Amino acid sequence: MSMIIRVKQKQIAQLISKGKRLDGRELTETREIKVEVGVIEKAEGSARVLLGKTEVLVGVKIEVGTPFPDTPNEGVLTVNAELVPLASPSFEPGPPNENAIELSRVVDRGIRESKAIDLKKLCLEPGKKVLVAFIDVYVLNHDGNLIDASALAALAALLNTKMFKYEMEEGEVKVKPGYTPLPIQNHPIAVTFAKINGKFVVDPWLEEEQVMDARLTMTFGKDDKICALQKGGTGYFTKEQILEIANIAQEKTSEIRKLVVKD
């Protein structure tokens, strides 16, 4: 933690105990969210999400591959996250570090556990040929709360995905003319809380993240069921705090969902 942050820590914590935040938000208010889809023509699906100044780009690529032996009738879902060095002075080139791996696994968990993609519909020939959905999260600017921005961008990109029509003909994969959307059946939304000085704030930005004791990310599906959780940071929560957060998270996620799912 840099010295400037240690000085600011007190200021941020004192404000929060009075119910205020350095950037003027309410404790349970998210930053402005902007979602743009179809920004990369070469990808089958893509989305760019701005959460305040945090910027994340997600691209979805679909390829033909082989299924995992324990799920021969299901397509494969892979999520990878890159903390691109241009996004923050704290990001370095090289293979993904534990923060990048955690980010990709939390995004993956939300999509997988909510069964957002109907993976059975991505099976071409059981045990042999299935479609593989690669979701690549690219962080372009880091201003805090990468998880929520990435999860939202991933969902928006999936909803935007148009893939080729693949069919099996005499044991070979054939590409038919036209496009088909990905079979999406749930809309997982993640919302992250930071615990600072015993209080909670929704959608922490960078400076709040740097002074927080702990964070808790909750992902809800469209049926208001919890489908993924991740606690981070070196602090702790009590059971009562967790349940309080769960109630706020349920409301927040249904608000955010309306930004990407129009019906």
Partner 1 sequence: MTKKEAKMIDKDGVRADGRKPDELRPTKIEVGVLNNADGSAYIEQGKNKILAAVYGPHEVHPKHLALPHRSRLRCRYHMAPFSVDERKSPAPSRREVELSKVIREALEPSIFLEYYPRTSIDLFIEVLQAHGGTRCAGITVASLALADAGIPMRDLTAACAAGKVEGQLVLDLTDQEDKKGEADVPLAYMPNLDAVTLLQMDGQLTLEEFEKTISLSLEGCKQLYLLQKEALKVKYVAVKEDIEE
Between CA 226 and CA 56 the distance in angstroms is 24
Considering the complex, what minimum distance in angstroms separates the CB of residue 113 from partner 1?
4
How many Cβ atoms sit within 10 Å of the Cβ of residue 6? 11
User: Quick one: 41 or 223, whose CB is closer to partner 1?
Assistant: 223
Q: Does 199 bind partner 1 (CB under 8 A)?
A: no
Asked if 18 is part of the footprint of partner 1 (rule: CB under 8 A), the reply reads no
The yes or no reply on residue 118 touching partner 1 (CB under 8 A) is: no
CA–CA dist 189, 238 (Å, integer): 24
Q: Does 4 bind partner 1 (CB under 8 A)?
A: no
Smallest distance, Å, CB 50 to partner 1? 27
Q: Give, in order, the Cα–Cα distances in Å from 137 to each of 16, 88, 152, 220, 244.
A: 31, 15, 11, 20, 30
Shortest distance, CB of residue 154 to partner 1, whole angstroms?
16
Closest to 152 measured CA to CA, from 52, 232, 74: 52
Does an H or E element contain 188, and which? none
CA–CA separation, 82 vs 192, rounded Å? 20
- The answer to whether 101 contacts partner 1 (rule: CB under 8 A) is yes
Torsion sign over Cα 66, 229, 234, 23: positive
Instruction: Please report whether residue 111 would count as binding partner 1 according to CB under 8 A.
Output: no
Residue 126 makes CB contacts below 8 A (sequence gap 6+) with: 67, 72, 73
Asked if 128 interacts with partner 1 (CB under 8 A), we say no
Judged by CB under 8 A, the number of residues near partner 1 is: 33
- 133 close to 117: Cβ distance less than 8 angstroms: yes
Does the footprint of partner 1 cover residue 239 (CB under 8 A)? yes
Q: Does 238 bind partner 1 (CB under 8 A)?
A: yes
210 binds partner 1 (CB under 8 A): no
Span near partner 1 by CB under 8 A; candidates 9-17, 93-101, 167-175, 194-202: 93-101
Q: Residue 186 has what DSSP assignment?
A: -
Contact between 221 and partner 1 (CB under 8 A)?
A: yes
Give contact residues for partner 1 (rule: CB under 8 A).
Answer: 96, 98, 101-102, 104-105, 109, 112-114, 216, 221, 224-239, 242-243, 246-247, 250
